[in-house]
Amino acid sequence: KIFFWKYVDLSIPSSDNDDSKPKTYTVKKFLVKYMDYSYWEVSWIDEFQIKAHSFPMYVAFSRKFDMTLPMYLDDGDTLPDKSDPIIDLENISESDLYKTFYIYGIKPEWLQIHRIISVQKTNNGVNYLVKWRDLPHVNSTWESRHTKFIRKICNIKKHIIDFNNNIREAMERPQMFSKSSLKSFTYQPYSTTPEFLLQNQNLSLHPYQLEGLNWIRYSCFNDTNVILADEMGLGKTIQSIVF
């Protein structure tokens, strides 16, 4: 994904004997986010790089924005400076976040850990699958607890503790049903709408919905995985909810 572009002035290396004023040339730099990496690891790259590796994306971005006029910053009034942008995540502080990320349209929430949803052990240590705040699960990324900015600014240690506590609670929580407990029940199909639905007289199942409900219950008691498939609008959702 391309977020922003700006002109950058770069110096032309001069010889040791050249005492004249350093010469510069201007290039375009693009702020991009790489696939499967978090918004923390956005990077400024040259125009030729993005043309070489993601030309269709470059074309789409060029159609959306005028590539001859510099883009304004997120405040809408300020042009970015022409200094060469360098993102130093190893030494970044919270005070650097605005000028490094926010001003270019990257939301603060996208840099905040929402929760940890999985863990894996690798040859390099333990990695955690991080769900970022205000982003869908598809944007989750694998992160190491030893990465400096993850440890310092995102406070991943707290989220690791929460994740471990949730796993422990889930393992200690008694299961609602187990194979041994189901054996003590005798399967009885519903002949009419279940009583807990009749508290509201408007909540009654159609005969074909009752048949579907009984089929799901029978499959459950026999430890059989099933898929409830039917035409749209016939009540698959309500049958699943009642079950």
Within a domain: 185:
no
Overall domain count for the chain = 3
- Per the structure, the complete domain to which residue 212 belongs is given by 195-242
Within a domain: 52:
yes
Within a domain: 131:
yes
pLDDT at 176: 57
Residues 128 and 158 in one domain: yes
Residues 20 and 89 in one domain: yes
Instruction: Give me the residues paired with residue 5 across strands.
Output: 30
Q: Within a 13 Å sphere around the CA of 229, how many CA atoms are in the beta-carbon half?
A: 2
Residues 42 and 126 in one domain: no
Within a domain: 181:
no
Residues 221 and 129 in one domain: no
Within a domain: 178:
no
Domain stop point among 70, 104, 138: 104
Within a domain: 18:
yes
pLDDT at 19: 63
Q: Which residues contact 9 (CB under 8 A, 6 or more apart)?
A: 24, 25, 26, 82, 83, 84
Which residues, given as ranges, of the chain have pLDDT below 50? none
Residues 22 and 99 in one domain: yes
Residues 130 and 203 in one domain: no
Measuring CA to CA, how many Å separate 90 from each of 87, 146, 151, 153, 209? 9, 11, 11, 11, 59
- Tell me how far apart the alpha carbons of residues 130 and 147 are, in angstroms, rounded to a whole number: 13
pLDDT at 17: 63
pLDDT at 150: 81
